[in-house]
Structure 1
Amino acid sequence: MTDLASKAALDVPAPDIRVVKMRGFGVGERSTVPISLAAAAIILLAWWAASEARIVPHLFLPTPKEVFNAAISFYQDGYANATMWEHVSASLFRILTAAAIAIALGVPVGLAMGLSRWAKGVFDTPIEFYWPLPPLAYLPLMIIWLGIGEASKITLLTMAMFAPIAIAAQAGVRSVSLERVNAALSLGATRFQLLREVVLPSALPEILTGARIAIGVGWSTLVAAELIAATQGIGHFVMSASQFLATDYVFVGIGVIALCAFAFSFAMRLLERRLAPWKGQS
């Protein structure tokens, strides 16, 4: 009887077990690069069609070929009494110097504002006062105080980038889990250890996001500043080209700015993945 029961049990088919994958939320993990490339191709095709059909005169909308030839000429011969590398390096020097100063000042101030009521009371008023102002609003004041040299441009860029970094660092402190803080204190962590091991790692994703936003603000401010008071730089190159109605060179300048901004954004994303791989995983 037992053998018959065992044989009958073996003859019963196993249930069909299916592994169900949980659906993600939002964009998900699939790459958006093909979509972005397709969108870029459509934009270029529309630009080529509009310029070839002469919907707008070539003086105002050059063809992609004309812009490409202008880019080759800019690379080989330069423009506005400077080579391409001199224009680009001048802008990179200003933006990198100002970003380093803004991060070195903004992160400690933001952390202090998030941790101390006195620090927040001291720094909150001036930051909230000048942060909504367009940087070009106080550019004339920078020129009056510091002249038209590099000091005025770097100071202007530092002020433009300081506020978003400080505000992001403050928001990062507020996002720290209270359970982690209490756990560290219960294990005997000192204030410095608490700041280094709990507060700073928890606030790091917010700080990096603030730095990305600040660099974007810095690029727009830099180009605008170079339009007014500079002899070299990408903004000066664009302004010089526009004065002679060299629209193809203006397009080249816009493309160079876009490439530099994209490179900075890509570098910040890589840095974010390296320093804060846990972002978005909680």
Structure 2
Amino acid sequence: MASGPPAPPARAISSTPKMSWWSRLFAPGPARPGESFGAPGQGRSLAISVVTSIGLLLLWHIVTWLEWLPPLFLPSPATVWNKAVEVVTEGFGGATLWVHTWTSMQRVFGAFFLALITAIPIGVLMGVNRFVRGIFDPPLEFYRPIPPLAYLPLMVIWFGIGEETKIIVIFLAIFAPMALNARAGVRSVSIEQIHAAYSMGATRAQVIWHVVVKGALPEILTGMRIGIGFGWTTLVAAELVAAQAGLGAMIQQASDFLGTDVVFLGIVAIGVIAYVFDLLMRILERWLVPWKGQV
């Protein structure tokens, strides 16, 4: 009995489901040297961020162009841009935008530097010494949830209305998250690493510096990023006290005269500066702690 033509070989059925374009867009990229498997590619993340920013600007333009909200509530991007050019060249409240920006940056980053040299050592000592933790933990946990506007009048009574008061208020807002993150980072260091260092003949100071501090560095850097965010948040409150210049003072003066375009300009300026600083902190983090997320 003649047999028919041989049957075609059966096609292998792929066990991998077909991905949609939306799934492919947000799927994790391939692992690269020095990068954990499944971490999204930096280029793809940047592209998504750019598209998101453009989309928000476009949405802002459409809402104002269709007049869904009155200009008093939401000025258009073009209006804010024109006001920015005017404030840069002619000024607002007796100072140009550059003067306002530089004054605020001096206050915020001055307070940030003071917190950097005080909060991190105290946080590390709180993590390694129970006596130091018992001293600083109650006041930190007590004032940390208090909003700066609550103790701002007290700072004015104690220190007056000069530049010191503004820096102290911003410093207090930055100090707590930086110190607590440093303490949490120290407490997260593996006890096996500490014992291994001691077994190899390391002194207590060497263990604290080479094992504890370096192991806590990811949390310390995170505390710095959180702290600078609190600093910019507190800036507007700090500049309520007899400030002649500063982005917070500019926003406050504009709100008194319903200058929504200037308010938006101040908000955008603060957001851009804070975002650029955060990007720099991310670069510093990748340089100092390349092992983060790998173990």
For residue 236 of structure 1, what is the aligned residue in structure 2?
A: 249
Equivalent of residue 88 in structure 1, options 101, 114, 135: 101
1:196-224 per-position Cα deviation (integer Å, ceiling 9, x unaligned): 11111101111010010000001000122
For residue 117 of structure 2, what is the aligned residue in structure 1?
A: 104
Asked if 1:65 is matched to 2:40, the reply is no
**CA–CA separation in structure 1 for the residues paired with 2:84 and 2:203:** 57
Which residues in structure 2 correspond to 1:51-200 (within 5 Å)?
Answer: 51-200=64-213
Give 1:28 deviation, angstroms: 6.2
1:64-100 per-position Cα deviation (integer Å, ceiling 9, x unaligned): 1111111111111111001222111111111111111
Normalising by structure 1, we get a TM-score of 0.88
Asked if 1:265 is matched to 2:283, the reply is no
**CA–CA separation in structure 1 for the residues paired with 2:40 and 2:137:** 35
Q: CA RMSD in A?
A: 1.7
List alignment gaps of at least 5 residues for structure 2.
1-29
Asked if 1:277 is matched to 2:257, the reply is no
Normalising by structure 2, we get a TM-score of 0.84
The residue type paired with residue 170 of structure 1 is: R
Instruction: Tell me the number of residue pairs that the alignment of Structure 1 and Structure 2 aligns.
Output: 262
List alignment gaps of at least 5 residues for structure 1.
1-20
Amino-acid identity (%): 48
1:116-161 per-position Cα deviation (integer Å, ceiling 9, x unaligned): 1111111111111101111111011001111111111111111111
Asked if 1:213 is matched to 2:213, the reply is no
* Structure 1 counterpart SS, 2:44: coil
For residue 16 of structure 1, what is the aligned residue in structure 2?
A: none
**CA–CA separation in structure 1 for the residues paired with 2:279 and 2:91:** 27
* Structure 2 counterpart SS, 1:81: coil
For residue 8 of structure 1, what is the aligned residue in structure 2?
A: none
